[in-house]
Structure 1
Amino acid sequence: MTRNLVKIRYNGIKYQVRAGATVLNALEEVGVSFIHGTSCRQGICGSCALIYRINEESELLGLLGCQHFVVDGMEIMSTPHIPSKERNFDPHDQNPIELLLQTYPEINNCNDCNACNTICPLEIDVNNVIKGFAKWELNEAIDMSSKCVACGLCSLRCPVNIMPENIIMQARGVFNIAIAQSMVPIPNKAKKELARETMELDRICLMSKESLTLQANSLRREILEGFIGYEKMDSEKDFQESD
């Protein structure tokens, strides 16, 4: 049986890849190698961020290789290392939002070019997130940026050197501390559950790399078996309905 193929370029090299595959899977199937983390393919780390154009169009877009599907005519480019280091910042400060703005004064330099929104692979309104921080609207800005995985593509494109992903991550720390400090006393049942989860986390932190890899692979198999089971149930249901 002949597979459907689409034509793409990756870093200037032509490939014919399987239609319907994610960019990461498609490139690996034709021999391109990538370094994998433990939670690879989960869409949570931003490590597989790539930039692309379609059929020589002028607009430059961003994608996560593990989430985005290949399209005929894609011109895909790997991203360089982005030297975007977090600055010293104390989220426990009495005025953390003011300190955040002082730490990242370039927030006020945004010129509304919208390059950050165009490149964001998760379609976050980065422009208004940054404006929200500048206006001290922390809740709204955190909510708008909740999907951010710190891939760094917005920093790569920003012409005034704003580092949105760092600002977002540190603002989340401020927000979480504020929530923790305002929480009502935790019930005993919740305390026991928290203690159990803390013990489990400590156990995981002490595991070797090999043990973590084995556990991660086992979890992947369980998830895959679950998906296969659901698909089987659905197909049996469709068969019964057709009868």
Structure 2
Amino acid sequence: MSEKYHLVIDGLNVEADKNSTIIQALAKAGNAITKNVGCMGQGVCGSCRCLVRKEGERTVTTALACETPIEEGMQVSFIDYFLPSHIHYYDLENVGDGWNWLDDTAALFPESQHCRHCGGCDAACPKHLQVQNGVAQVVAGDFGAAAHTFDECVMCNLCTLACPENIRPNHLGLYARRMTTARSLRPVDLMRRLQEIDSGAMKVDIQAA
């Protein structure tokens, strides 16, 4: 007979085999799962986002229930999907020719310019992505690097929930991935220089040249 672990999931006392994941433990205990599940254990959809506290620890961490093994005395609370107050709408066909992507990105995601570098998004990410760095890469116009940073993002929205500036890093990363795929990227340093010239931050004396 396999060893059993006892834990609490959304207020329910659950007993399950010790080699179970959180979502498996909930299902095997006879509970009907009607939400907070999507890919059934593949760890790719982000639907089963949850808060976890291990026995004897004060810290609460985030996790995906489908890929997190249970432990004795663990406490789990699922986080329902939520709609943010501001939703970003854009059409890649209308974003521009590439030279103005820095301005276009700032206009579409103005809150991204105000990152506090608190690290909350990094701590919240169940995939352990360098989310904060990815936001900085998009703001700097390095869409290729940002697309790589967010490549394994499952759009669970936990980084959005953790951000005090209401930045939606996962959607910013998705934007970078779409831009990288849809367009041939221009050199970042040249885009920045053209932006400086256009805004007047850098003066160019054509006669002197």
CA gap 1:148/1:29 in 2 versus in 1, 3 angstroms: same
CA gap 1:5/1:118 in 2 versus in 1, 3 angstroms: same
**Partner of 1:152 in structure 2?**
157
- Name structure 2 gaps, 5 residues minimum: 186-209
Q: CA deviation at 1:44?
A: 1.6
**Partner of 1:46 in structure 2?**
46
Q: CA deviation at 1:176?
A: 0.7
Q: CA deviation at 1:45?
A: 1.2
Structure having the larger proportion of residues in helix: 1
**Partner of 2:27 in structure 1?**
28
**Residues 8 and 73 of structure 1 are in contact (CA less than 8 Å); yes or no, is this contact kept in structure 2?**
yes
CA gap 1:121/1:29 in 2 versus in 1, 3 angstroms: same
Identity in percent: 23
- Name structure 1 gaps, 5 residues minimum: 181-243
Q: CA deviation at 1:115?
A: 1.4
CA gap 1:91/1:11 in 2 versus in 1, 3 angstroms: same
Once residues 157 and 9 of structure 2 are traced to their aligned partners in structure 1, the CA distance between those partners, rounded to angstroms, is 20
Q: CA deviation at 1:56?
A: 5.1
Paired residue type of 1:99: D
**Residues 132 and 138 of structure 1 are in contact (CA less than 8 Å); yes or no, is this contact kept in structure 2?**
yes
Superposed CA deviations along residues 191-223 of structure 1, whole A, max 9, x for unmatched, are xxxxxxxxxxxxxxxxxxxxxxxxxxxxxxxxx
**Residues 21 and 69 of structure 1 are in contact (CA less than 8 Å); yes or no, is this contact kept in structure 2?**
yes
Superposed CA deviations along residues 113-151 of structure 1, whole A, max 9, x for unmatched, are 211111111101111111111111211111111110101
Q: What is the 5 A alignment of 1:115-194?
A: 115-179=120-184
**Partner of 2:201 in structure 1?**
none
Once residues 35 and 100 of structure 1 are traced to their aligned partners in structure 2, the CA distance between those partners, rounded to angstroms, is 37
Q: Where do 4+ consecutive residues of structure 1 move more than 6 Å? A: none
**Partner of 1:88 in structure 2?**
89
Give the secondary-structure state (helix, strand or coil) at the position aligned to 1:31: coil
Once residues 175 and 126 of structure 1 are traced to their aligned partners in structure 2, the CA distance between those partners, rounded to angstroms, is 18
Q: CA deviation at 1:38?
A: 7.2
The alignment's TM-score, normalised by the length of structure 2, stands at: 0.77
RMSD: 2.1
Q: CA deviation at 1:43?
A: 1.9
